[in-house]
Structure 1
Amino acid sequence: MPAPPLSLRFLLWVALWLLPWSLGGQTAPKRELRGAWIATFTNIDWPSANTLPVAAQQAELLALLDQLQATGFNAVYFQVRSQCDAMYESQLEPWSADLTGRQGRAPSPAYDPLAFLIAACRQRGLEVHAWFNPFRAVSNVANLPSFAPTHLARTRPEWLLAQGSLRILDPGLPQVRDYVLSVLLDVLRRYDVDGIHFDDYFYPYPPSSGPAFNDDATFAADPRGFTSRPDWRRDNINLFIQRSQESIRAAKPWVKFGVSPFGIWRNRGSDPSGSATNGLQSYSDIYADSRKWIQQAWVDYLTPQLYWSVGFSVANYGVLLPWWNALGGSRHVYSGLAAYKVNNGGTDSNWSQPAQLPDQVRLNRQQPNVRGQTFFSARSVTGNPLGLRDALREDLFRTPALLPPMPWKDDQPPPPVSNLTARPSGNGVQLTWVAPPPTGNPLDQVRQFVVYRSTSSAINVEEAANILRITPHEGETSFTDQGLAPGTYHYAVTALDRLHNESLPAGPVSAQVAANAGGPDRPVGGVSRLTNLSVLAPLLSAGDTFTVGYVVGGSGTSGGKNVVLRAAGPSLAPLGVPGVLADPRLERFAGSTKTGENDNWGGSAALSSAMSAVGAFAFTGPASRDAAASVVLPAGDQSMRISGVDGGTGLVLAEVYDATPAEAYTATTPRLVNLSLLKEAAGGITAGFVVAGGGEKRILARAVGPGLSAFGVGGAAADPRLTLYAGERQIGANDNWGGGAELATAFSRAGAFSLAPSSRDAALVASLPAGNYTVRVETGEAAGTVLVEVYELP
């Protein structure tokens, strides 16, 4: 199978990396944690503002998870508690002001962000760790008057320690430790999380000016036999860590527990067993004896925050990493990486090198006890600074990875799958299998499947290069491997439990893709064509709209085109889509002339039959307020505008279906020769389309931002990036189209307007067999309007 095209940024990154470094030709590991912290405190990652409506919050979160999944991540650490508040529905602590703008105010319409995230991650194969800040209570005491009356700083002021503007819960008070433990156990018992995670904030960091906190009274009241205040403080944290681990294990033994401590335990100048560094020390400065936690097996993993560059004099990443690796024998060590410093490293010029963070990943892989890495933070990765995300997606994380196992928690693999079959399907192979029977023990429940492929009948399932796909969830028991060259392919499938213990493989099974992949397995309808465009997008504010375009035509065709148009809102809710648009409106246009509209579809039998014939899911009933139309379109430019009745907001699914039956297609039947979407790209745009018929369809895909200025479109995106997927497998990508002759010719042949050679618009050409495809357009941290286009090429 040919490699997917590399982006311009990625090629630049490779060139720069090869100059100063020689880390050897590494192969990606089969098992590796690839995590991202999603910080909610002060809206670092999500939501982007505390004034966003619920639909916009949800759309942002889904877009962020989509980007992480597409990049190759397999775990997220979601900040649920940052200052004794809650990013989830809690009876113990008030709603976070970072969610709704006012502490204690619930989101409206009501939803639970943590439950929403877990459900979304289960559909994307992402492990979920609930991230807690255990002891921070008030980050800035000047904000205390706006805090909810139920906040601990108001109800239990005697529990607080003060340092400057910071207020923390006093870790020396047994009742504080009990309370914090009750909060995390509440989340553990009510939510299906995979892990509980603490960050580095225990006792306060030393102040840059002014006095440090004063816990004289607490020490005097309960010294527990300690005469050394620092030892007593460390023991307070040790007691809390140990009790957390014991409580989590007792409640849900499959849930992981870990901490991301400050990256320096002790300097060698203070302790011969410390690291060769000269920075702040967690042991003595914030009383966190992180080395003891892993030595005593009180944690399942540590993720030290190694937020320094390779070569930094005070704390060298290349020095600290081996020190932490030496601690990782019986429990996992992951590396915490400073994505937020890429091209933003202040006086440390090492962070201006595109290779800095990718090379840290490579160094991690050279350490046998470093089992992966977590990036701070998610937006810092998806913003693609210096091509970081490109380097991960197109090289370091290009091969899917299983999570590292934790045999001390569970080492029993699930039963293997059964009835594995493979059969040719056009120029692909369709696989099906039967999952093992369900079990009542959560430790034994199957969560995902791994599909392996090789051109050798002896498939080595220990080789990461043979991993074709890791399914996002246990409900997926089939997969079609598309776009294959002629030849014989061999497959095996394994099952994973929730701790990623892997079953014995089923298979191998084999299938041969013929040089002329026709015959009975080829989709019916001999004319290769575009048959469907689907866009799930939010209307964020009153008056918000977006436009979906479609061109009817094709060389040598004549007559009208039967289509079904839909704007689904209410009927998405039973499918598990939250925050839907309650009452969508669909307006049809031919050129600039309005030709009709629909508000509520009305339950028409003829329309219901037409929707069923094209394979669209059924609306919930005649009274649903979804919009739809079945019409015959003349040749030419057509479009539909989607809006909310009475300024409504929420998620809406816009769909265009070719309603001509496959068996009725001939060379003269009009086709949908262009599908397009014009929309504000905040959070990215995802559009799906379907290729049907025999043979391959050559298409042109474009993401136009700067090129819109010639048409008077204001606020266009400055630099859109386009990625093409077959299912969830990336098959092409482009950032800046570059003015190449092949693409310029494709523009002309498709009838697309021209683009300046130096513009930062994106475009690519691909030959696609029948199947489902997705175009993903991203604009980084900047928003703006983007025109997404898919053309057939003659």
Structure 2
Amino acid sequence: MKNQLLFLIIAILVVLPFNRSEARQSGEIPEAPKHEFRSVWVATALGLDWPKTTNAANAELALRNIIRNMKAKGMNAVVFQVTPRGDAYYQSDRLPWARRLTGTMGQDPGWDPLAVAIEEAHKHGMELHAWYNVGKLGDIGNADLQDSDEPRHIYFANPDLIEEVGTEVWLNHGKPQAREWAVANVIEIVENYDVDAIHFDFIRYPSNGYANDFDTKQEFNPENIIGTADWRRYNVNEFNRMVYDSINVRKPWVKVGSTPIGHYKLDGGWPSLKGYSGVYQDSRRWLQEGVNDYLAPQLYWDIGGADAPQMDWLVRDWMGETYDRHIYIGTGPYKANVFAELPRQIDSTRVNNAAGQMHFRYDNIVPASTFGDRYDRPSIVPPMPWKEMTGPNTPANLISFWPGGAGTELTLEWEKPDFGRGEPEAVRYAIYRVPVAGDVISEEDITVDATYLIAVTGETTFTDAPGVASEDYDYYVTALSRNNVESVPAGASVNTSLGENRHLARSFELDQNYPNPFNPTTNIRFTLGEAGPVSITVYDLLGRVVAQPLNDSRPAGTHTISFNASHLSSGVYLYRLESGSMQITKKMMLIK
């Protein structure tokens, strides 16, 4: 059994998807990556997936069960439709409550589905993406609008901002006030709810635009764009710019994604609707301009279809122009031929280095065999390098114990690490289990891939059944930021034949000093797994001791000391934490 755990980490390393060209050539099933977005659209429009009852208690339980089932199937994010047709599945001062919650549009259901979905998703360590339909706002041919005169619905409140296309009601993207109305709806969600992302659908025109676009273009064309098609694309692009900036200034950690038409622009010899020319959706420009963090193109075809775009061909097409943003491939298991090959479609996305998958829709992925074994291992949503890449502090005071006696179920408990001194908040946790017997595993290899990852949770406790009696294990817990950047692990050694029912986890950590750079005072925080003598020594780059702010005994736990460097010159220094045979060294910078 290893006697010590030592991590010398100066910067966070993000593991990006590796090139899987060899798997592509050999036909082998690619390995499931540690970082992969996995989700399912949960549709509320027409009650497709949910709600299927107006009974509040039953509807809430059904929603929670959907999220729990998604977790059990290996998902790490929920894409929940909160604004399907100009209405709301959340408390809004701008939009009416959805009719399908109570039977009457605008009637308060007495509970908040979005708040419940966020709570349930976060408890299970999953992200919650609030799905907002931008363009399509209703259908005067169904009961949602036929049986209502709800004054907050845009159809009644702002008829000058909409267009009727057949029986469908659409937002007129060409009018600045219409775009501002939609942006304000989104910002209401962002300000009032702890969502991880906003997910846009129908972020486009209907085919052929609107009949009166000539007049609208004459009135609203600040860039003097000549072509009507280019003008329509400009209007949708402008909405993206406005909403991204508005979200980023309020909550920069909230992601923005869209699900565009799956066939972007190239013909490829197949007859199908093109996003760019058919519905004026220049989605790749949103990536290029940095106003979308991800796209989930709707590739709702099979791999080898002769009469439609081929799914794997389109995957390669999308992955050829990512602009260093994320692509999550949208699949269509509502089609029998797609459902039958869904594991192969997941393989195709992995071989082509897509950042994940999103499946349409929940009711179509309920069968147990839907994904084969492709999601048997858990995964972490990939971090986005253009967002905050600082990791949280290490989980504090990790302990392990056997509630039912040694050799049964093991429970780990820890405390949420402190934050706010430059470190981001921990919002979920990753748990790793490493058998001690066998090959020696370096500390760096434990968290580098999915081999030892056994769970991701939003709680500060986890119960595991190791399964092998009398075998020693090392458990590690890392904290994850909102951007899914991991902390340095906290570790615990466990033996299934332990006589003691509870013990303190092995933990020895040194945090980055804060502030850093500093002048002349900084704080140094460290964690000890057991009581004992401890020292912190400061060295210059020649290895000479210049200060020793701590040389004493301390109890187990987390401690902070203050270091005053007023007697030192500006420069880079090393500070070393030592206790017994363990030591960790980090850098600090003094600037006067």
Q: State the secondary structure of the residue aligned to 1:83.
A: coil
1:435 to partner: Cα distance: 3.3
Q: State the secondary structure of the residue aligned to 1:339.
A: coil
In the other structure, the counterpart of 1:126 is: 126
Q: How far apart are the structure 1 equivalents of 2:396 and 2:114?
A: 35
Q: Are residues 441 and 332 of structure 1, via their aligned partners in 2, closer, same or farther at CA, if it must alter by over 3 Å?
A: farther
Aligned: 1:24 with 2:22? no
Q: How far apart are the structure 2 equivalents of 1:73 and 1:339?
A: 16
Amino acid at match of 1:260: T
Give the alignment partner of residue 485 of structure 1, picking from 469, 472, 475. 469
C-alpha deviations, 1:350-376, integer Å up to 9, x for none? 447x3x1111001111122x1101111
Q: Is the 8 A contact 2:260 2:295 kept in 1?
A: yes
In the other structure, the counterpart of 2:448 is: 462
Aligned: 1:230 with 2:199? no
Aligned: 1:309 with 2:302? yes
Amino acid at match of 2:136: R
Q: How far apart are the structure 1 equivalents of 2:246 and 2:422?
A: 17
C-alpha deviations, 1:75-119, integer Å up to 9, x for none? 011111112111111111111112222211221xx1111111111
The number of residues matched between the two structures is 466
Q: Is the 8 A contact 1:418 1:433 kept in 2?
A: no
Aligned: 1:320 with 2:314? yes
In the other structure, the counterpart of 1:336 is: 330
1:205 to partner: Cα distance: 3.0
Q: How far apart are the structure 2 equivalents of 1:45 and 1:106?
A: 21
Q: How far apart are the structure 1 equivalents of 2:275 and 2:456?
A: 38
Aligned: 1:367 with 2:367? no
C-alpha deviations, 1:282-335, integer Å up to 9, x for none? 111100001111111111000000111001232000100011112225111100
In the other structure, the counterpart of 2:427 is: 447
1:469 to partner: Cα distance: 2.0
Q: Is the 8 A contact 2:51 2:59 kept in 1?
A: yes
Q: Is the 8 A contact 2:29 2:347 kept in 1?
A: no
Give the alignment partner of residue 218 of structure 1, picking from 216, 223, 228. 216
Aligned: 1:279 with 2:281? no
In the other structure, the counterpart of 2:51 is: 47
Q: How far apart are the structure 2 equivalents of 1:169 and 1:420?
A: 52
In the other structure, the counterpart of 1:161 is: 163
Q: Is the 8 A contact 1:451 1:492 kept in 2?
A: yes
Aligned: 1:405 with 2:383? yes
Q: Is the 8 A contact 2:134 2:202 kept in 1?
A: no
Q: How far apart are the structure 1 equivalents of 2:131 and 2:476?
A: 36
Q: State the secondary structure of the residue aligned to 2:348.
A: helix
Q: Are residues 181 and 442 of structure 1, via their aligned partners in 2, closer, same or farther at CA, if it must alter by over 3 Å?
A: farther
In the other structure, the counterpart of 2:147 is: 146
1:162 to partner: Cα distance: 2.0
Q: How far apart are the structure 1 equivalents of 2:117 and 2:494?
A: 38
Give the TM-score normalised by structure 2: 0.74
Q: How far apart are the structure 2 equivalents of 1:434 and 1:83?
A: 43
1:199 to partner: Cα distance: 0.9
Amino acid at match of 2:394: P
1:251 to partner: Cα distance: 0.9
1:200 to partner: Cα distance: 3.2
Q: Are residues 465 and 142 of structure 1, via their aligned partners in 2, closer, same or farther at CA, if it must alter by over 3 Å?
A: closer
Q: How far apart are the structure 1 equivalents of 2:152 and 2:494?
A: 64
Q: How far apart are the structure 1 equivalents of 2:278 and 2:126?
A: 35
Q: How far apart are the structure 2 equivalents of 1:189 and 1:328?
A: 29
State how 1:369-518 maps to structure 2 within 5 Å.
370-384=354-368, 387-388=369-370, 391=372, 395-422=373-400, 425-428=405-408, 430=410, 432=412, 434-435=414-415, 437-440=417-420, 444-456=424-436, 458=441, 459=443, 460-473=446-459, 475-476=460-461, 479-507=463-491, 509-514=492-497
Q: Is the 8 A contact 1:276 1:319 kept in 2?
A: no
Q: State the secondary structure of the residue aligned to 1:178.
A: helix
C-alpha deviations, 1:199-240, integer Å up to 9, x for none? 134211359xxxx64322211212221111111000000000
1:482 to partner: Cα distance: 4.2
Q: Is the 8 A contact 1:141 1:167 kept in 2?
A: no
In the other structure, the counterpart of 1:259 is: 258
Q: Is the 8 A contact 1:37 1:374 kept in 2?
A: yes
Q: State the secondary structure of the residue aligned to 1:396.
A: coil
Q: State the secondary structure of the residue aligned to 1:446.
A: coil
After superposition, the CA RMSD in angstroms is 2.4
In the other structure, the counterpart of 1:293 is: 286
Q: Is the 8 A contact 1:261 1:303 kept in 2?
A: yes
Q: Is the 8 A contact 2:426 2:479 kept in 1?
A: yes
Q: Are residues 194 and 435 of structure 1, via their aligned partners in 2, closer, same or farther at CA, if it must alter by over 3 Å?
A: same
Q: Are residues 511 and 440 of structure 1, via their aligned partners in 2, closer, same or farther at CA, if it must alter by over 3 Å?
A: closer
Q: How far apart are the structure 1 equivalents of 2:226 and 2:338?
A: 44
State how 1:658-669 maps to structure 2 within 5 Å.
none
Q: Is the 8 A contact 1:259 1:299 kept in 2?
A: yes
Give the TM-score normalised by structure 1: 0.56
Q: State the secondary structure of the residue aligned to 2:342.
A: helix
Q: How far apart are the structure 2 equivalents of 1:520 and 1:298?
A: 55
1:434 to partner: Cα distance: 4.0
Q: Is the 8 A contact 1:267 1:278 kept in 2?
A: no
1:421 to partner: Cα distance: 4.6
Q: Is the 8 A contact 1:443 1:497 kept in 2?
A: no
Percent identity between matched residues is 33
